[in-house]
């Protein structure tokens, strides 16, 4: 750690001599200016940019919404080491990785506290972790099943390294909302951990620490049904059902989370890390006195899935530019590339969205090689050779499509940096 409590990394201090200006706060669907388009005019598309003014304003907003609690950066929503570094310098305190191999790579590059947000069965990565005392100090792995404990124990025994710290683990606790009984029950949230009750968590903690090779560092509760669900529908109207579901979820967690933590701390005889939150639920989760740290990531780039939240203003920061290669009709323009579909349940909300007011064709969508766009009545589409800017539905997934991204301020390219992919890293 540095003197101010931030995690040291190998690079990424923001350049001097540039004043932050207010970004164009137009996170909603529709037309948006792209002043940085001039900065990359001479570069061939497809290409991606990140607006640093919006990125930094979003980082400041997330830190303010965390209410003083340490904020962990979800790397899967960024996947660019230079941007991870910028967020850490801005005040994020640590990183949540999405793969153990990624966590090892980040630790090798100077990140001192990496929580792996998902369980792993990557045996080569587990072997590397077990054999490296420095990695065991920097990395905490996620578990929710005794099978994960067995894998970690086996890796430790096979490493042949007797000294050094134990492997640190965090227990993932189900934060979904369950309503009803029996056949009339409903599960609202993601399907992650099977652990919900204090006795289940304590039982796993007891199995984890049985040999002394592993140590329970804390627990995680990710309330996806609050953090990842917009408050308003596509037309901007707030949904009473969504508000009810979020309220019930937070009420359930305010009861269940303290009970789990109290039982675990009583069993272990020490305080534990308690992680929670997401971009869409930071303020609400921060009010729970049980929470010791929060996690967020998508809010740095604000993809289209984060346009309709009451808790914050969406400042889109990541865009990709596609070049027009055909003009089938005056109102149609066909761009090269564009089939960057987001993960999750299939639907139109997973498609990329143009920022100039054009729309994808329902019959073709976003294509593998080309994407036709329809412009409104009485509006002519751009000429062959022009560039159309679009936004992705999710944050970090866009970066898997590009080797490099351009960091821009207004009409200037400040830096061109590699993505994970550009550094030859693919973590799945």
pLDDT at residue number 31: 47
Taking residues 330-352, what's their average pLDDT? 92
Question: Quick one: angle between helices 198-208 and 240-268, nearest 10?
Answer: 40
pLDDT digits (tens, 9 = 90+) for 232-247: 666 666 677 777 777 7
pLDDT at residue number 16: 29
Asked, as a colleague might, if the bond just before 46 is cis with ω within 30 of 0, I would say yes
| 115 alpha-carbon distance from chain centroid | 13
Give the least confident one: 101-115, 216-230, 405-419.
Answer: 216-230
**Contact status, residue 111 vs residue 133, Cβ threshold 8 Å:** no
Tokens for 283, please give them.
């303020």
Q: Which residue has the higher pLDDT, 310 or 321?
A: 321
pLDDT at residue number 114: 98
Asked if CATH classification 3.20.20.80 holds for the domain at 318-419, the reply, yes or no, is no
Q: Which residue has the higher pLDDT, 164 or 144?
A: 144
pLDDT at residue number 409: 93
**Contact status, residue 132 vs residue 107, Cβ threshold 8 Å:** no
pLDDT at residue number 228: 63
For residue 234, the SS3 value is: coil
pLDDT digits (tens, 9 = 90+) for 27-43: 333 345 688 888 999 89
Give the least confident one: 44-53, 135-144, 152-161.
Answer: 152-161
Taking residues 395-404, what's their average pLDDT? 95
Taking residues 307-325, what's their average pLDDT? 89
CATH class (in words) of the domain with range 53-299 = alpha beta
Distance, in Å, from the CA atom of 311 to the CA atom of 201, rounded to the nearest integer, reads 32
pLDDT digits (tens, 9 = 90+) for 242-295: 777 777 777 888 888 999 999 999 999 999 999 998 888 888 888 899 999 999
pLDDT at residue number 314: 85
pLDDT at residue number 11: 34
pTM (predicted TM-score): 0.86
How does the average pLDDT of the chain come out, rounded? 87
Per-position b or e across 40-52, b if 16+ CB within 10 A of its CB: beeeebbbbbbbb
Residue 223: closest CA among 256, 199, 198: 256
The full set of domain ranges for the chain reads 53-299, 318-419
């Amino acid at each position: 750690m540095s003197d101010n409590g931030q995690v040291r990394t190998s690079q990424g201090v923001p350049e001097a001599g540039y004043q932050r200006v207010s970004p164009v706060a137009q996170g909603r669907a529709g037309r948006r200016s792209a002043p940085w388009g001039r900065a990359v005019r001479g570069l061939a598309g497809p290409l991606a940019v990140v607006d640093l003014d919006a990125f930094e304003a979003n980082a400041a907003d997330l830190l303010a919404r965390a209410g003083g609690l340490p904020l962990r950066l979800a790397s899967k929503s960024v996947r660019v080491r230079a941007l991870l570094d910028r967020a850490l310098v801005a005040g994020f305190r640590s990183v949540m990785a999405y793969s153990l191999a990624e966590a090892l790579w980040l630790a090798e590059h100077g990140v001192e506290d990496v929580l792996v947000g998902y369980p792993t069965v990557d045996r080569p990565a587990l072997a590397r972790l077990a054999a490296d005392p420095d990695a065991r100090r920097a990395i905490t792995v996620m578990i929710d099943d005794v099978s994960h404990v067995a894998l970690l124990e086996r890796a430790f025994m096979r490493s042949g390294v007797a000294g050094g710290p134990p492997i640190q683990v965090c227990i993932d606790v189900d934060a979904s909302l369950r309503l009803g009984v029996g056949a009339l029950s409903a599960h609202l949230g993601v399907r992650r951990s099977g652990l919900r009750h204090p006795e289940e968590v304590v039982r796993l903690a007891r199995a984890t620490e049985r040999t002394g090779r592993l140590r329970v560092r804390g627990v995680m509760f990710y309330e996806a049904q609050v953090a990842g669900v917009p408050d308003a529908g596509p037309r901007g109207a707030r949904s009473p059902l969504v508000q009810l579901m979020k309220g019930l979820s937070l009420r359930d967690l305010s009861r269940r989370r303290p009970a789990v933590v109290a039982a675990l701390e009583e069993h272990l005889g020490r305080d534990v890390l308690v992680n929670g939150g997401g971009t869409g639920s930071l303020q609400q989760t921060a009010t729970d006195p049980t929470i010791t740290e929060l996690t967020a990531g998508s809010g740095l780039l604000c993809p289209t899935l984060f346009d309709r939240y009451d808790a914050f203003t969406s400042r889109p920061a990541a865009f990709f530019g596609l070049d027009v290669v055909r003009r089938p009709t005056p109102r149609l323009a066909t761009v090269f590339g564009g089939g960057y579909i987001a993960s999750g349940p299939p639907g139109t909300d997973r498609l990329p969205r143009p920022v100039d007011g054009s729309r994808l064709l329902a019959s073709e969508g976003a294509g593998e090689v080309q994407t036709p766009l329809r412009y409104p009545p009485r509006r002519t589409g751009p000429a062959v050779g022009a560039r159309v800017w679009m936004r992705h539905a999710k944050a970090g997934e866009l970066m898997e499509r590009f080797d490099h991204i351009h960091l821009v301020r207004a009409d200037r390219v400040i830096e061109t940096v590699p993505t994970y992919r550009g550094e030859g890293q693919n973590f799945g």
